Amino acid sequence: MSFRRISILGLGLIGGSVAMAIKSRISDCDVTGYDVDTGALQSALASAAVDRIAPSLVSACDGTQCIILCVPIGPVGELLAAIAPHLKPGVCVTDVCSTKQTIVEAAQRLLPAGAHFVGSHPMAGGERQGFSAARADLFDGAICITTPVPSSDPATVQKVEAFWRQLGMEIRQMPAEQHDHLVAQISHLPHVLASALIQSASDEALAICGPGFRDVTRIAAAAAALWRDILLDNAAEVRGSIARFRTELDRLEALLQAGRAEDLRNWLADAALRRKALGKSGG
């Protein structure tokens, strides 16, 4: 009982990839695309990632079973408010935002009773933006976190999770608060560190950097406005993660200053062990 008619609002990297993944993995699913960028719309139509483009938000909401909000956390609240009056009873609404408390609360506040929302976060992406960076296999093997609330419609939760699984992802269900706490540690903090690392290196040092440095800082090349919104939206958790990180950095620095070779080796070996348990890098 999967969705037969899906509307994707926002055809950037994630929205475009959702459309492509649907076309590559789900037969008999009609995809409508909407974006304020007519270039992205035309590219999506030309590459058959979408079956049609909606001329307006109102028409994108018309006759669809599922609306996927594929815009950043910054503008998503406005988008929710804009579609709210046009949602038909029984429609499912989900999103792909990197933080979940804000969007879940906004959906509860703004959407009409008959519209069923469940928050989603497909943990995939990249430092490139826009439809031109979209690919059908972006979600292969990735984790998708869903954040239903006690009042969420169980059938919608089930259908949305089944949909993400069809795109190749594994589902982890958790409260929005827990999501924001965990992704601060493994997504938002790494972005902060990579950016601060780049900023702390002199031009002279950057001129001789190798592949290790490029890997470690790759994520810092992502869109600044998108990340500004993510970091501000999840500021309390990000600052908590920075505090825990500083504790580890303090520990390392104390070992270094005291020349405690054995403890330093143990600390590094423990980090290496934890890293190895995560498996290989992906792209």
Residue numbers 146-175 binding its own copies by CB under 8 A: 172
Question: Binding to its own copies (CB under 8 A): which residues in 186-205?
Answer: 186-187, 189-202, 204-205
Interface with its own copies includes 264 (CB under 8 A)?
yes
The mark string for 96-115 relative to its own copies (x by CB under 8 A, - otherwise) is: --------------------
Contact 231, 192 (CB under 8 A): yes
Q: What is the Cα 26 distance to its own chain's centre?
A: 22
Query: How many angstroms separate the CA atoms of 196 and 183, rounded?
Result: 18
Question: Binding to its own copies (CB under 8 A): which residues in 225-244?
Answer: 225, 227-228, 231-232, 235, 238-239, 241-242, 244
Least distance in angstroms from the C-beta of 29 to its own copies? 25
Q: Which stretch binds its own copies (CB under 8 A): 19-27, 80-88, 159-167, 248-256?
A: 248-256
Residue identified by tokens 């190895």 is 276
Query: How many angstroms separate the CA atoms of 171 and 156, rounded?
Result: 14
Query: How many angstroms separate the CA atoms of 95 and 117, rounded?
Result: 9
Interface with its own copies includes 254 (CB under 8 A)?
no
Binding residue for its own copies, selected from 24, 132, 158, 247, defined by CB under 8 A: 247
Q: Which stretch binds its own copies (CB under 8 A): 45-53, 99-107, 110-118, 271-279?
A: 271-279
Binding residue for its own copies, selected from 69, 73, 145, 160, defined by CB under 8 A: 145
Least distance in angstroms from the C-beta of 139 to its own copies? 11
Query: How many angstroms separate the CA atoms of 97 and 120, rounded?
Result: 7
DSSP calls for 33-77 = EE-S-HHHHHHHHHTTSSSEE-SSHHHHHTT-SEEEE-S-HHHHH
Least distance in angstroms from the C-beta of 125 to its own copies? 7
The mark string for 63-92 relative to its own copies (x by CB under 8 A, - otherwise) is: ------------------------------
- Of 248, 19, 11, nearest in space to 3 by CA: 19
Least distance in angstroms from the C-beta of 229 to its own copies? 8
Least distance in angstroms from the C-beta of 32 to its own copies? 28
CA 224, 228, 232: angle at the middle one, nearest 5? 170
Q: What is the sign of the dihedral through the CA atoms of 178, 184, 185 and 187?
A: positive
